[in-house]
Structure 1
Amino acid sequence: MTYLVLVDDPTRPGAVVVHEVTDAGELVASVGVTAAELPGLVAAREAQRPRWVWDDTARRYPPLLAAGVQVARCHDLRLCHAVLRRSARCQDSALARAAPGPWDGPRPDGQHAQAATLFDDAPSSGEVTELDPLTELRLQLAAVAGSTAPGRLRLLLAAESTGALIAAEMRHDGMPWSTEVHDELLTRLLGERPRHGGRPPRLAALAEQVRAALDQPALNLDSQPDLLRGLRSAGLDVASTRTHEIRALVHPAVGPLLEYKKLARLLSANGWTWMEAWVRHGRYRPDYVPGGVVTGRWATSGGGALQLPASIRAAVRADPGWKLVVADAAQLEPRVLAAMSGDRAMAAAGREADLYQGVVDAGIVHTREQAKYAMLGAIYGATTGPSAVLMPQLARAYPRAVELVEAAARDGERGAVVSTWLGRSSPAPGPVWGAAVQAAVSEDAEADAVRDARRHRRDWGRFTRNFVVQGTAAEWALCWMAALRRRLREIEGRPHLVFFLHDEVMVHTPTGAAALVADAVREAAAEAGRLLFGSSAVEFTLDVSVVDAYDEAG
């Protein structure tokens, strides 16, 4: 394989040097080009199917897309460094053992920092240091070659890097969006947009109903402290203004207050101001952050693409003569757990389009709701409620699957690192966890300290239990998208991905190619299953819809 490594030319601002490197890290040739010349060079070399290597896809790829140039493959050094730096599969590599350096810090533009998770330490904001992509590539290649699972790690790095390409392409193309429909939806739900600020009519009316029910005419519903004081002043026993607490109350203010909170959230998160900021020329272009969550899931740094409410999805509309192909993987995480564990009984349940119904049909539980509670409880570590009650039945029926997550939880509770199927490893517990556990084992430990330690251990065990499944599901989804992207490039009319949400994709396609795209989506899912799990008996079932608008998808 040929790697073409982009390195900033320190002697010419904006120019780059492209180094041709073998898969053994040996330098073959180098050429310098200006920023204006780079797209032409990239387009010319694409016919040879190299793997482009650069510091950040989010930095390097958008200018190429703007110039009309797409690449098939890349190696995103920063994303791959984050995986290899932490992976237990290559923990003895020079890359893993090195002191923190410039590749460990935030991106130079300050964006796309990885989202923190339970017990994470705050990232440092050290000075930006000049990067050395050529040396970093060699370190990464050596780390993979010397790892305990080089094949899996290569697949993970390729999928992670392709995900970065897809994120940039989706932002470049944008999701088709009708501002007219969006405005109609907002007007129907909220009333006419106020001309000079203030609340829309529907919100204003609901606010008056709440104030009247609480007998507090000056109450500010948009201030959580004021609202909390107002509820308590009315004799309501609440610890917060969270929806689940308010819903449990019996009072005339409850109904209008819940409706107010829902509509106020819509106005702030996806209202007229949001639409003006994020939708341009009929396209919605959010900022995706591949690998933005520690499990490998994506995040967003702007636009809220991962939280589009159902109430505005009708605004996502295909262009005239085009369709949206929307597909989501049914019960992805339970299916991934079955494949990881090799639990044939659970795989058999997954042969049903609805895995939860398959659990019922196997006689494990009585209702689909019970099956869902039990399965999600196993993955997320529920210790109370319906999930905990049903866990013994699930453990008897699917011992290998349950033991896999139980073992991950035990590892987490003793402070060990766990890994996904392809090799992304969890962070070690932070100082809060360590201090709590240390305090509990001291000779003069108090009962409160012991309880805190047990709680921290259980919390981290739930995190590691979920990490191995959610992280592997994220790997499957990346492979699914990568396989789909490759197939879409072979279909006439340029169908293209426009949306991704954990286990759901959306393709914007010419109407005449919609059936081919739907087939490609299904074929890509099957390929992703084979790439990760070989000849596993688990079937990754999809719900696929060909629609004119997002809200029509099944």
Structure 2
Amino acid sequence: MAATGVRAGSGSELAERTDRADRAEPVERAAPAGPPERTERAESAEPVERAEPVERAESVERAEPVERAESVERAEPVERAESVERAEPVERAESAERAESAEPAENLGAPARPERPEPAENPGAPERPEPPEATELRAQRHAVRTASDPSRIALLLAAESAGALVAAEMQHAGIPWRADAHDRLLESLLGPRPATPGIRPARLEQLHQRIRDELDDPAANPDSPVELVKSLRRAGLSVTSTRSWELKTIEHPVIPPLLEYKKLARLASANGWNWLDTWVRDGRFHPNYIPGGVVTGRWASEGGGALQLPKQVRGAVIADPGWKLVVADAAQLEPRILAALAGDRAMAAAGRDRDLYDGIVSSGAVDTRAHAKVGMLGAMYGGTTGESGRMLPRLARAFPVAIGFVEDAARAGEAGAVVTTRLGRTSPRPSDAWLDVQDAAGADDATDAARSRARSAARSWGRFTRNFVVQGTAAEWALCWISSVRRRLWSLDAPDARGRLETRPHLAFFLHDEVMVHTPEAQADAVAAELRAAATEAGRLIFGDAPVQFPVTVAIVDSYDQAK
């Protein structure tokens, strides 16, 4: 398998990059218990040769089966697997707690296909070149077969395949969106729609004038960060930026209207009337999803900001008459993923049959739920200052296995090593610039400043790898969850649906650890039950019989804002 971070290019360039990467060995992060182990990386393996990149999964041709109103049970994960193949082989054989003998595709509800007979040879026919997709698929199957733990990589590829189908179906069906409700929400917050594009709505204009009055500066421009900083400094305020967190630390009459202006201006720009005219058609918002668009495996979107819908406009997401929205949210997903990854039974017990953060408080580790949450976020994201830094030692004493797990991942990143998720997705290697900084610090004549830069860069990369193992595995769990949900929804009895996606319960939205199903009202309770069962199934697929629960909160509502 190709090592992540190795660039395509000349032989000398590839050799130089590989030589530098060899200085640090990878740390495998997929084991269900114990700290990550350093293992030898198969540097002798050459990158898999590809004829050309396969088209992105969000391409139009992928949605063709949806347009024909057919249910596609399985698709070969050719394009999505290309990014997964970068994963190093998983070495920890004791991971067989999961049902290793089961085919991952079958686990996700896709029946295995019988082998097709080879076509009869025709000596007189001209030889046709193999399609690049076939070349890629053959290379991927070989990579899976030769991996040290094929079942995990195969499960990840199957989940990526099912996720790509989910993305195609959700883009086709769209999110139910009432343009009239959206317009009313905007008017209530911003005032009437301006008659001329580019003109500030009435509320923004009022705030703009108040900002100028409070600063006694008729030229103050809150739409320009550079000009605004100058205006704030002329008023005697010591600021370095216009970021909200910095402004909130300042006591001055201009701060409240300025913060409100920033919030409403963001709404008008990102989800205002122009957004409404561009993205909502016939009562639906059709986002362009990019499965695996983030390096950890999380999804991204292209245009429309589907994964950043602000609370102010969620009231426009309204179910059709006679239908309901069933919204499910995985509770404390990443901390629970960490408990399962590390095999920390104490943390698993803290979250059994209750809110995990409440359980951490009951364990005596910290005194409040807020402290439990900020401490766990600090552990997973590398927060070592403030409240998170103060809570971290307490959590380390209560849950040494889990905290040790992410600490080991951070140390691996600081050393320039790679880490992997539960199913084998590998983190990218540090850049050449990062390696140059470390090289400079190791030189005999290195200055104190050079060593300081190297330590800072190492800690920064360690924070990335610390989070990669948790967030990446959470993304894998979420893929298995929505894959199971999709299969279960298609199996629900849907009278008069005639197989069409839009006329039966279907996934309408997915955001990291949250899903929304649009369903006829009569089937809402059944959908809610399937969402919970699918979460349990996802945990079992990835972690076997590990004693970690993955509960989801489910709300049956008429509009999205009612679910929160």
Question: What range is the shorter-chain TM-score in?
Answer: 0.7 to 0.9
- The superposition leaves residues 73-109 of structure 1 with CA deviations (integer Å, 9 ceiling, x where unpaired) of 112312101110x211189xxxxxxxxxxxxxxxxxx
CA distance in 2, matches of 1:327, 1:287: 21
Matches within 5 A, 1:11-50: none
> Which secondary structure state, in structure 1, belongs to the residue aligned with residue 76 of structure 2?
strand
Give, in whole Å, the separation in 2 of the partners of 1:419 and 1:339.
15
- Helix, strand or coil at the partner of 1:544: strand
Structure 1 CA distance for aligned equivalents of residues 71 and 228 of structure 2: 52
| Structure 2 gap ranges (5+) | 1-53, 92-129, 495-503
Residue 382 of structure 1 deviates from its aligned partner by 1.1
Q: For 2:284 and 2:452, how far apart are their aligned partners in 1?
A: 52
- The answer to whether 1:429 aligns with 2:430 is yes
Query: Equivalent residue for 1:165?
Result: 165
Is 1:536–2:560 an aligned residue pair?
no
Paired position in structure 1 for 2:509: 499
* Aligned mates of 1:202, 1:55 — CA distance in 2: 45
Give 1:516's aligned residue.
Answer: 526
CA distance in 2 between partners of 1:413 and 1:436 (Å): 12
CA contact (8 A) 1:56 1:76 kept: no
SS at match of 1:89: coil
Q: CA offset at residue 63 of structure 1?
A: 2.4
CA distance in 1, matches of 2:379, 2:155: 28
Long gaps (5+) in structure 1: 1-53, 92-129
1:134-533 residue pairs with structure 2 within 5 A? Answer: 134-197=134-197, 198-493=199-494, 494-533=504-543
SS at match of 1:489: helix
Q: Is the CA contact (8 Å cut-off) linking 1:90 and 1:143 kept in structure 2? A: no
Does the 8 Å contact 2:57/2:290 carry over to 1?
no
- The number of equivalent residue pairs is 463
State the distance in 1 between where 2:375 and 2:57 align: 40
Which deviates more, 69-78 or 283-292? 69-78
The whole-number CA distance in structure 2 between the counterparts of 1:71 and 1:515 is 25
Give the secondary structure class of the aligned counterpart of 1:539. coil
User: Residue 56 of structure 1: CA displacement?
Assistant: 4.3
Shift of 1:68: 2.3
1:318 to partner: Cα distance: 0.2
Once residues 423 and 55 of structure 1 are traced to their aligned partners in structure 2, the CA distance between those partners, rounded to angstroms, is 23
**Contact 1:330–1:353 under 8 Å retained in 2:** no
Deviation at 1:131, TM superposition (A): 6.1
- What amino acid maps onto 1:367 in structure 2? T
% identity of equivalent residues: 56
Distance 1:273 1:442 in 2: 56
1:531 Cα deviation after fit: 0.1
Instruction: After TM superposition, give the deviation of residue 57 of structure 1 in Å.
Output: 3.3
Matched letter for residue 219 of structure 2: A
Name the aligned partner's letter for residue 461 of structure 1: G
Q: Residue deviations 1:164-203, cap 9 Å, x none?
A: 1111110100000011110000000000011013111100
Aligned mates of 2:380, 2:332 — CA distance in 1: 12
Local SS of the residue matching 2:204 = helix
Alpha-carbon distance in 2 for matches of 1:56, 1:552? 35
Counterpart AA for 2:163: G
Inter-partner Cα distance in structure 1 for 2:260 and 2:230: 19
Q: Which moved more, 1:54-63 or 1:162-171?
A: 54-63
Tell me how far apart the structure 1 counterparts of residues 517 and 407 of structure 2 sit (CA, whole Å). 38
- 1:57 is paired with a residue of what secondary structure? coil
Q: Which residue of 2 aligns with 1:72?
A: 73
Q: CA deviation at 1:58?
A: 2.3
Give 1:219 shift. Answer: 2.0
SS at match of 1:212: helix
AA of the residue aligned to 2:528 = A
1:140-161 CA-to-partner distances (Å, cap 9, x unmatched) read 1111111011001010001011
Post-superposition CA distance 1:458-513 (Å, at most 9, x none): 00001000000000000000000000100000113310000001000000000000
1:338-387 Cα offsets, whole Å, 9 max, x none, are: 01111110000111431000000111111111111111111111111111
What is the Cα deviation at residue 245 of structure 1? 1.2
- The ranges of structure 1 where at least 4 consecutive aligned residues each deviate by more than 6 angstroms after the TM superposition are none
- 1:379-412 Cα offsets, whole Å, 9 max, x none, are 1111111111111211111111111111111111
Q: State the one-letter code of the partner of 1:409.
A: A
The answer to whether the Cα contact below 8 Å between 1:55 and 1:133 also exists between their aligned partners in 2 is: no
The 5 A counterparts of 1:81-100 are 81-84=82-85, 86-89=86-89
After the TM superposition, which of the residue ranges 389-398 and 297-306 deviates more from structure 2? 389-398
Q: What is the DSSP-based 3-state SS (H/G/I as helix, E as strand, rest coil) of the residue aligned with 2:89? A: helix
Which of 318-327 and 350-359 deviates more?
350-359
In structure 2, what residue type is equivalent to 1:521? L
Rounded to whole Å, the distance in 2 between the matches of 1:257 and 1:495 is 44
Cα deviation, residue 527, structure 1: 0.2
Decide which moves more: 472-481 or 157-166.
157-166
Structure that is richer in strand per residue? 1
SS of the aligned residue for 1:424 comes to coil
Q: Give how far 1:552 is off.
A: 0.5
8 Å Cα contact 1:90-1:146 kept in structure 2: no
Amino acid at match of 1:72: E
Q: Which is bigger in relative contact order (C-alpha 8 A, separation at least 6)?
A: 2
- CA displacement, residues 218-247 of structure 1 (integer Å, 9 cap, x when unaligned): 222211111111111111100011111111
Say if 1:88 and 1:417, in contact at 8 Å, map to a contact too.
no
1:55 Cα deviation after fit: 5.0
Aligned AA for 1:327? A
How far apart are 1:65 and its partner, in Å?
1.8
Give the counterpart letter for 2:221 in structure 1: N
In structure 1, the residue matched to 2:498 is none
Indicate the SS of the match to 1:508: strand
Backbone CA RMSD of aligned residues: 1.5
Cα pair 1:57 1:76 within 8 Å, conserved: no
SS in 2 for 1:319: coil
Distance in 1 (alpha carbons) for counterparts of 2:380 and 2:264: 32
Distance in 2 of aligned mates of 1:71 and 1:199: 47
Alignment check: 8 A CA contact 2:58 2:288 kept: no
Please give the secondary structure, in 2, of the residue aligned with 1:58: coil
Aligned to 1:57: 57
